[in-house]
Amino acid sequence: MSKYGMLDNVLNDILKAVTPLQEDWAVRFGIINDLRLVAESVESLRGATVEPFGSFVSNLFTRWGDLDISIELSNGSHISSVGKKHKQTLLGDLLKALRTKGGWNNLQFIINARVPILKLKRYPPGISCDISINNLQGQMKSKILLWINKIDGRFHDMVLLVKEWAKAHKINNPKTGTFNSYSLSLLVIFHFQTCVPAILPPLKDIYPGNMVDDLIGVRADVEDLIAETCDTNINRYISDKSRPKNKKSLAELFVEFLRKFAQMDSWASKMGISPHTGQWEQIKDNTRWLPKTYAIFVEDPFEQPQNTARSVSSGHLPKIAKAFLETYSILISKSQTPNSLLIYLAPPHVSRYIMKPAIPNYGGGYLHPPQPQFPRPVRPQPPPQRHPQQPPQHRIQNGSEGSSSNGSTSGGSKGSSSISRALPMQAQKRQQIWRPRIIQ
């Protein structure tokens, strides 16, 4: 039995609780449809399309996840370019129409953001929406993350688990100087690239170029070229029989994830994270990253050299590192119960959802929790094999992890000649507006 058998069970319970149901998909498609009707009533948006992106398109969202929307302006068949001022004007027009129509709550216009955004909520069920103009970059990034799911299903599960854990520790909010969800997803990708054996390849092996630079010309042609490139390279990686297979369980991978980044406050000023190359990189040697300085650098592999973690403040970096370190210490402790683990791995609304009703525990299940025991944080030992350019880690005692591997790789079906962009079957049946195309 795995050393992390209890942890595996708790992580699976969290996944069951946060994985969207059919109605969660239907609600979001309904919101998209309602926004389309409002946009069609705005003269300045005539001919525009309302298209989702972000975690919804990547299938990396949870039941309570936000919805990202891009309003794509008509420019014939070509990709259009719109200045920031014009985007602000168009979002202002949409804001007036939404107020006139009614039924939308918490309307907020973030006019001076790097990308102007209109934020709102739809009650019920309280889904938050961020609306931007001509965010084709965001759409294509989201699709590539969706296609990466084909390589190994553990990527999807780890992203959901990491985001829930980060919310529990209040380190998944760029407004408060911590990580946004996209940078957390890239940390998972990087972990899967640098674990031993690797689960994911460097993203340059999936799309060699700087994707945002290629978004010029006829939109359908550009999107097809990007999709076909990724399709070919992903299938090549999956079908490589000589590639060592990583069969670690989610629990083992999760513990290793925490250990890998637990000392980020000690190396973040010197080392950057590059999912594009799949390597740690010396900041001083990467001229593209200079002269700007950030608390931590997680490069956008599809929009180099942008830093997806630019929202992380130097004042909050120690708090973030502490969350990694304390959770790691909790998970390797032998004095935990399912309840104490759950409280430390998921935000309160998820924990309550899993633990109710309180029933007797006959060797499993959940009781209303005692206060979790927090052992003194333990600095993890360096891994036995050092990845090229890996940040130095201090030798600390009592940092062992489980060596058993009872998990299994859940990658895409071998021999498939195309990347399936299809959403889960229940979502496809409800979908009326936006349908990811499938390469024939």
Residue-level pLDDT at 411: 41
Are 127 and 152 in the same domain?
A: no
In this structure, the answer to whether residues 42 and 81 fall within a common structural domain is yes
For residues 241 and 328, state if they share a domain. yes
Report CA-CA distances (Å) from 282 to 88, 259, 269, 293, 389. Answer: 38, 20, 9, 13, 7
Cα angle: 224, vertex 230, 232; to 5 degrees: 100
What digits encode the pLDDT tens for the residues 309-357?
A: 999 999 999 999 999 999 999 999 888 889 999 999 999 999 988 986 4
CATH of the domain at 326: 1.10.1410.10
Which pLDDT tens digit goes with each residue over 21-36?
999 999 999 999 999 9
d(CA 94, CA 35): 10
**Cβ(267)–Cβ(392) below 8 Å:** yes
Q: Which residue, among 50, 257, 230, 43, has the nearest Cα to 145 in the 3D structure? A: 230
Q: Give me the mean pLDDT over the 169-188 stretch.
A: 96
The boundaries of the domain holding residue 66 are 19-134
* Inside any domain, residue 298: yes
Asked if residues 338 and 366 have their Cβ atoms less than 8 Å apart, the reply is yes
Which residues lie closer than 8 Å to 354 by C-beta, 6 or more apart? Answer: 13, 14, 17, 342, 346, 366
Q: Do 205 and 111 belong to one domain?
A: no
Domain-embedded: residue 249? yes
Higher pLDDT, 199 or 380: 199
In-domain check, residue 88: yes
Please check whether residues 76 and 105 belong to one and the same domain.
yes
Q: Is residue 201 part of a domain?
A: yes
pTM over 0.85: no
- Which of 333, 353, 382 is where one domain is finished? 333
CA 228/CA 220 separation, integer angstroms? 12
Same domain flag for 129 and 183: no
pLDDT digits (tens, 9 = 90+) for 210-264: 999 999 999 999 999 999 999 999 999 999 999 999 999 999 999 999 999 999 9
Same structural domain, 178 and 249: yes
CATH number, position 60: 3.30.460.10
Q: In this predicted structure, what is the pLDDT of residue 347? A: 94
Decide if 28 is inside a domain. yes
Number of domains in the chain: 2
Q: Which of 333, 357, 373 is the last residue of a domain?
A: 333
292 and 165 housed in the same domain = yes
Is 270 inside any structural domain?
Answer: yes
Q: How far is CA 57 from the centre of its chain?
A: 11
* pLDDT at res. 393: 53
Question: Nearest Cα to 32, choosing from 73, 71, 89?
Answer: 71
- Per-residue pLDDT of 28-77, as tens digits, reads 999 999 999 999 999 999 999 999 999 999 999 999 999 999 999 988 78
Pairing between strand 49-53 and 67-72? antiparallel
The pLDDT of residue 369 is 38
- Say yes or no: 182 and 300 in one domain: yes
Asked which of 134, 166, 200 is the last residue of a domain, the reply is 134
3-state secondary structure of 367: coil
Round to whole Å and give the CA distance between 377 and 131. Answer: 41
Binned at pLDDT 50, 70 and 90, residue 267 comes out as very high
What digits encode the pLDDT tens for the residues 84-121? 899 999 999 999 999 998 888 888 898 887 889 999 99
The reply to whether 295 falls in a domain is: yes
